[in-house]
Amino acid sequence: MAVKIWLLIIFGFFVLDLTAQTTLIQGKVADQNGQPLYLTLVYNADLGIGAYTDERGFFFIESDKVIPELEVFALGYMRERVNTKVDSSFITIKLKKLIYDLKEIEIHPCPKSEITMGLDLESIEHNLMRLSPTHGFNYQVGMSFPTRYGQEITAVEVHAINPGIRRTTFRLRIFELDSSGMPGNDLLLENLIVSVPGLRNKRPTLIDLKDYNLRSPDSGIFVAVEWLPMENNTYRTTGRHPSGSRGKRHTTLPILRLIRTEKNPDFKMWRKRDEGEWYQTHPQIKKKWLELNPHLASKEDQELTNFPAIKVHLLDCE
């Protein structure tokens, strides 16, 4: 009898070991010419599993779940779905260039004047807030700008904070607005990775865009920060939960400044997580209960909102 019990225990552990096998997927992403694509997102949205490619285009995904397929996204390239059930320990993925049918913008020679859109960061220091997403998810947050047809986008300022010692990075995204005022097609088709030095707090990061020849459509533009949930962008802190217990929190750097200011229908804040839909967002101004009880907020609070600390520099005809 004892022998039978031991056999059952051993067999039980053997079955558990089989069901807990780890899925390992590795491969490389390149363009049609074989050039590696850096920071390409390889993921399965249903399982919430994914990874970015390194400088040589390689990726590595390990999970305790079965991953039947992967979707591959690189800025400026067509999306690709890959069946992971192929009999190969290494997957090579080649992406095709994405060609947008953008409207032609006529350029007429004229005297140029510089225009800046956004909020003056120095004059509202006391109204600043901070935003950083939970680590492990792909987030994009940005603001729309009512630019005019043909204006040249020469630079973008982002007030990004890096409290860590190591450099951190984010991807700059620029979209045209669609007819409903939501982010539409990409205007910036290059994989523009911005580096933020360590221990940066007060000074915004200026990104020069003169070499990209970006022109605004008549619908306006949307400028966003895309957080890259990689190890070098991870920020680990220990804090106290509302329940009183202490716990660890992992966020993705950099931290984006938010500015508390009056509502303006010409500027809207949009947000997107992973490959979900864009949605308009208004981060809370005070405590959470004010959102549940807006009648308790003062008139001043009801007329205020928060915008990302992003500025756009433009050139236009005088």
Q: How do the pLDDT tens digits run along the chain, 318 residues long?
A: 444 444 444 444 444 444 456 778 889 999 999 999 998 888 887 777 788 898 899 998 888 878 888 889 888 888 888 888 765 678 899 999 877 555 555 555 666 788 999 876 665 544 557 777 776 678 899 999 999 988 999 999 999 988 888 889 999 999 999 998 999 999 998 889 999 988 877 788 999 999 998 999 999 999 999 998 887 888 877 665 555 556 677 788 898 988 877 777 888 899 998 778 898 876 554 554 455 545 545 545 556 777 888 999 999 875
Indicate whether 298 belongs to any domain: yes
Indicate whether 290 belongs to any domain: yes
Tell how far CA 164 is from the center of its chain: 19
What letter represents residue 127's amino acid? N
CA distance 2 to 16: 21
Whether residues 169 and 289 fall in one domain: yes
Whether residues 145 and 245 fall in one domain: yes
Indicate whether 104 belongs to any domain: no
Strand 152-158 relative to strand 310-317, pairing: antiparallel
pLDDT digit string, tens, across residues 258-282: 887 777 788 889 999 877 889 887 6
pTM: 0.75
Whether residues 144 and 282 fall in one domain: yes
Q: Which domain holds residue 147?
A: 112-317
Q: How many domains does the chain have?
A: 2
Whether residues 87 and 130 fall in one domain: no
What letter represents residue 38's amino acid? Y
Asked if 187 and 176 count as a contact pair (C-beta separation under 8 A), the reply is yes
Whether residues 142 and 291 fall in one domain: yes
**pLDDT at residue number 109:** 61
Indicate whether 15 belongs to any domain: no
CA distance 64 to 137: 18
Whether residues 37 and 137 fall in one domain: no
Whether residues 45 and 180 fall in one domain: no
pLDDT digit string, tens, across residues 116-165: 998 766 655 445 577 777 766 788 999 999 999 889 999 999 999 888 88
Nearest to residue 257, comparing CAs of 141, 116, 137?
141
Written as one string, the DSSP assignment of 283-306 is --SS-HHHHH-GGGS-HHHHTEEE
